[in-house]
Amino acid sequence: MSIVLTTDFKGIFSISQNTFKQINVQDFLTQVEDEVLNALMGDKVYNDYLNQIVAGSSTEQKFIDLIAGDGFTTDKVIEEKKTIGECTHVKFTFCVSESGCTDERFVLYRGAKTFLLPFSYFEVGRNDNNSNAVSGYVSPANENSETNTRDDVNGIVITRYNKGVDQYKRGQLFLLEFEEIEAETTAITDLTGNVYRFDVASTKYLKDGDEIEFEGDRLVVSNLIADTSFEVPITSGQTFDAVSDFKYFPFEDLVTQNKKLIPMF
* For residues 22-30, average pLDDT: 85
User: pLDDT-derived band of residue 89, with 50, 70 and 90 as boundaries?
Assistant: very low
Domains and CATH numbers, the chain: 6-72+107-178 (no CATH), 181-248 (2.40.30.20)
Percent of the chain exceeding pLDDT 90 equals 65
Q: What pLDDT was estimated at residue 110?
A: 97
Residue 2 has pLDDT above 50, yes or no: yes
Contact, 144 vs 138, CB < 8 A?
yes
pTM for the whole structure: 0.84
Q: Residue 173's pLDDT is what?
A: 94
Q: Please give the residue that has the higher pLDDT: either 199 or 150.
A: 199
* Predicted confidence band of residue 141 (pLDDT cuts 50, 70, 90): very low
Assess whether pLDDT exceeds 80 at residue 107.
Answer: yes
Contact at 8 Å (CB) between 231 and 225?
A: no
Q: Residue 265: is its pLDDT beyond 80?
A: no
What is the tens place of the pLDDT at every residue in 157-200? 899 999 999 999 999 999 999 999 999 999 999 999 999 999 99
Phi-psi region of 151 (alpha: psi -120 to 50; beta: other; left: phi over 0): alpha
- Residue (of 242, 246, 253) closest to 212 by Cα position: 246
- Are the C-beta atoms of residues 28 and 127 closer than 8 Å to each other? yes
Q: What local confidence, expressed as pLDDT, does residue 137 receive?
A: 52
Quote the pLDDT of residue 218: 98
**pLDDT tens-digit map of 40-50:** 999 999 999 99
Contacts of 28 (CB under 8 A, 6+ apart): 120, 123, 124, 127
**How far, in Å, are 59, 163, 180, 200, 207 from residue 247 at the CA level?**
23, 35, 7, 12, 13
CB 234 within 8 A of CB 196: yes
Report, in this order, helix, strand and coil percent for the chain, each rounded to 5.
35, 25, 40
pLDDT of residue 184: 98
